[in-house]
């Protein structure tokens, strides 16, 4: 493996260790896809909650507006 591989050819596991994509099994890739989808959904839910909070109106003086 080259000392400076393209980042696109590597995938970080949940411990921050990068693995060459070609070494992942099909099951590992599916697991990573599902983990990414769950994380993306959590981020979307959080963003929607923030938008709802903003749209409800809040104490503008308290938030510096």
Q: Write the pLDDT tens digit of every residue in 36-55.
A: 899 999 999 999 999 999 88
Tokens 């099951």, residue? 27
57 or 46: which leads in pLDDT = 46
CA-to-CA separations, 2 to 9, 15, 19, in angstroms, rounded: 11, 22, 13
Residues spanned by the domain of 40: 7-56
Residue 11 within a domain: yes
Residue 40 within a domain: yes
Residue 27 within a domain: yes
Residue 48 within a domain: yes
Residue 12 within a domain: yes
Q: Write the pLDDT tens digit of every residue in 13-36.
A: 767 778 888 888 999 889 988 988
pLDDT band at 1, cuts 50/70/90? very low
Residue 65 within a domain: no
Total number of domains constituting the chain: 1
Residue 19 within a domain: yes
Verdict on whether the full-model pTM lies above 0.95: no
């Amino acid at each position: 493996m080259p000392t400076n591989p393209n980042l696109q050819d590597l995938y970080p596991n949940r411990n921050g260790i990068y693995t060459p994509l070609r070494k992942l099994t099909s099951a590992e890739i599916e697991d990573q896809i599902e983990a990414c989808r769950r994380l993306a959904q959590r981020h979307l839910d959080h963003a929607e909650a923030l938008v709802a909070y903003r749209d409800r109106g809040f104490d503008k003086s308290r938030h510096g507006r």
